């Protein structure tokens, strides 16, 4: 995610706005956020696969694992569930929630840029979520990310 912000900030002389004629830096940022979302989605799918012998046996017996929607996955980030899920799920869900936030922010910034709302673009860029240095904090307080989603 740190790279997402770098892509956005490298895009222009004033450090935040797209080239008005092409929108390339913001589009590049959006594309990067979309890529991060895809990677995070794959990590979540991998994390929730059957692992224990009982889970694998159940899967072989035809008892399939439940299908999860984004809402279901994010529900696991509520405190009542968070304390009971494996650490691998926690990390994957934290990164997934951050990827959703990155994507939402990219869409908002592009929309604001199209509307020529420079102050709002600056404010949104200033509020970008940067999880890289704070992963442990978000693992301890998943509700902080959940509120932003």
Q: Please write the tens of the pLDDT for every residue from 123-139.
A: 888 877 666 667 788 88
Domain of residue 64 covers 2-148
**Residue 112: both structure tokens together:** 């604001």
**Residue 127: both structure tokens together:** 């509020």
pLDDT category at 1 given cuts 50, 70, 90 is: very low
Report the number of distinct structural domains present in the chain: 1
What mean pLDDT is reported for the chain? 77
Top-confidence residue, 47 or 119: 119
Rounded CA gap, 100 and 83, in Å?
22
Statement: the pTM of the whole predicted model exceeds 0.75: no
Q: What is the pLDDT of residue 73?
A: 81
Q: What is the pLDDT of residue 58?
A: 75
The average pLDDT across 100-118 equals 90
Q: Please write the tens of the pLDDT for every residue from 50-79.
A: 778 887 777 777 776 666 778 888 888 888
Q: Please write the tens of the pLDDT for every residue from 10-43.
A: 544 344 444 343 455 888 888 999 999 999 988 8
């Amino acid at each position: 995610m740190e790279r997402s912000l770098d892509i956005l900030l490298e895009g222009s002389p004033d450090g935040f706005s797209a080239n008005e004629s092409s929108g390339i830096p913001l589009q590049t940022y959006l594309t990067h956020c979309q890529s991060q979302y895809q990677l995070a989605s794959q990590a979540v799918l991998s994390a929730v696969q059957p692992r224990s012998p009982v889970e694998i046996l159940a899967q072989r017996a035809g008892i399939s694992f439940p299908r999860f929607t984004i809402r279901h996955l994010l529900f696991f980030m509520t405190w009542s569930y968070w304390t009971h899920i494996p650490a691998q799920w926690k990390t994957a869900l934290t990164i997934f929630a951050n990827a959703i936030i990155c994507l939402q922010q990219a869409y908002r910034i592009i929309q604001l840029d199209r509307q020529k709302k420079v102050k709002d673009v600056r404010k949104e860029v200033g509020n970008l979520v940067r999880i890289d240095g704070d992963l442990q904090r978000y693992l301890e307080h998943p509700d902080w990310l959940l509120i932003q989603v």
